[in-house]
Amino acid sequence: MQQIARSVALALNTLPKPHRVMLGSLTAMTLAVAIWQPLITHHDQNKETLVRKIELEASQHLTGTDASEPDDQTTPLPDDDLPADQKETESTQYAKEYTVSSGDTLSSVLNQYGIDLSNINALVGSDGALRNLNVGQSLNWQVTADGELDTLDWEISRRETRHYTRRPNGTYSMERQLQQGEWQDNRLAGTVKGSFASSAQQAGLSASEIASVIKALQWQMDFRKLRSGDQFSTIFSREVLAGKRMQSQLQAVRVRSAGKDYYAFRAEDGKFYDQNASGLAKGFLRFPTAKTYRVSSNFNPRRQNPVTGRITPHRGVDFAVPIGTPVLATGDGEVVVANAKGGAAGKYVAIRHGRQYMTRYMHLSRLLVKPGQKVKRGDRIALSGNTGRSTGPHLHFEIWINNQAVNPLTAKLPRMEGLTGKERKTYLAQVKAWQSQLTF
């Protein structure tokens, strides 16, 4: 080895200086590469060993007793391991609940959840009321695995829910479910201070209850003429459901005005009678004259006026009566108009009967009553004539019900009647119990 080294050294010494420098540089570079390569290999092995150690420790930790699944993975369980109420069945894929908002329709609600229009049309075909959803109502439905609407519940109110079920032929059946509340009798009484409406409201009556009191006694008195100090007492049956009042019904009322008592009691037929079972509604005469005369012009909302030639409503009936024929009040009431200068109507009289009814008598020759005067059915109020816009002697007669002109010859008018027999006996027994409660 030493001899070889000497030979190499002698050979190098014989080479020119530039060659010796180049050869030395190459030798140094070769030695450097030889020494550096093992270091690189050793470093990568340590790094790989470290990475593998970390992964192994992490794997051991995740598979231990505290392991949990990552959020993006699921482990499906067999159906046998699920509770019976959580298993997906073939008939129901999902259920949905929705509260109706402003502008919602049945189609707009169900369409956004993928319900087919054919299902919606079939549903509406079973109940047209579904076209009129109201804000706050609830819809609950279930859809089959095939995407068909299976059932729907429409909660209309606390009282009523409608249930719709799909039939095999694609149509729907509807079942109405009603909840009944508890009815309770309430006595509400007070003293008039100002108007009756405001006084009754202070006593606890609602607006609809106040209206029912006025309607029950409309034939007996004018509530606008009550004075401070007058008293009233009422009995209402009120239905309460889920702690809230649903509806009410007037059973009995007593009003004391100027020292006189006025009563009204509800019978089983829904009508009101006095304490003697006599009917409160006053009967009407069909015709405003003692004799029946020929009708010269019928009630006609589209009649052509014989004087002006224009299409104008004829809101009453014309009777061909001679001038001077006595005109009769067709029902009990109060004269509100007795006008001697009625223009086209000529001289005319208007009578109010309770709150709902009004009668008018036109083209008169002479008035026999004054405004504010009380009249009875059959009383003479005027004599017929030919005044105003008229083509000949006649009597024009009108009946208005709830501010709407109706045909006097066919209108349904109240009849004066009372209870008899067993119905009267039952009614009077109930009245006796109510009267003892109607205190002030």
What pLDDT was estimated at residue 309?
72
| Range among 67-71, 93-97, 357-361, 414-418 rated most confident | 357-361
Domains of the chain as residue ranges with CATH:
89-178 (3.10.450.350), 182-273 (3.10.450.350), 295-406 (2.70.70.10)
Question: Within its chain, how far is the Cα of 193 from the centroid?
Answer: 35
Rounded mean pLDDT, 69-93: 40
Q: What is the pLDDT of residue 239?
A: 85
**Which H or E run includes 188?**
strand 182-191
What type of residue sits at position 287? Answer: F
What secondary structure does DSSP assign to 192-224, as a single string?
-SS-HHHHHHHTT--HHHHHHHHHHTTTT--GG
pLDDT (average), residues 63-85:
39
Mean pLDDT across the stretch 131-139?
91
Contact by Cβ (8 Å): 337, 352 = no
Least confident of 28-37, 233-242, 298-307, 322-331: 28-37
**316 confidence band (pLDDT: 50, 70, 90):** very high
Output the CA angle 372-378-381, nearest 5 degrees.
45
CA distance 101 to 106: 11
Q: Is the pLDDT of residue 184 over 70?
A: yes
Predicted pLDDT at 440:
92
Q: Is the pLDDT of residue 354 over 70?
A: yes
DSSP string covering 362-374: EEEEEE---TT-E
| Predicted local distance difference test score (pLDDT) of residue 26 | 62
Whether residue 307 has pLDDT greater than 90: no
Model pLDDT, residue 427:
95
C-alpha 372/C-alpha 378 separation (Å) is 17
The CA distance from 407 to 398, in Å, is 8
CA nearest to 322, candidates 363, 355, 361, 271: 363
The average pLDDT across 374-381 equals 94
Give the pLDDT score at 19. 58
| Residue 131 clears pLDDT 70, i.e. is over it | yes
Mean pLDDT over residues 173-182, rounded?
A: 87
Q: What percent of the chain has pLDDT over 90?
A: 54
Can you tell me the distance from the alpha carbon of 81 to that of 260, in angstroms, rounded to the nearest whole number?
Answer: 81
**What mean pLDDT do residues 172-192 have?**
91
Q: Contact 282/414 with Cβ under 8 angstroms?
A: yes
Residue 154 has pLDDT above 50, yes or no: yes
pLDDT more than 70, % of the chain:
78
The band of 77, judged by pLDDT with boundaries at 50, 70 and 90, is: very low
- The residue ranking higher by pLDDT, 82 or 367, is 367
Q: What values do phi and psi take at 76, rounded to 5?
A: -65, 140
Q: Mean pLDDT over residues 251-259, rounded?
A: 96
**Which of 94-108, 193-207, 342-356, 396-410 is predicted least confidently?**
94-108
> Quick check: 11 pLDDT over 70?
no
Does the structure show a pLDDT above 70 at 61? no
Question: Does position 93 have pLDDT exceeding 90, yes or no?
Answer: no
pLDDT of residue 125: 93
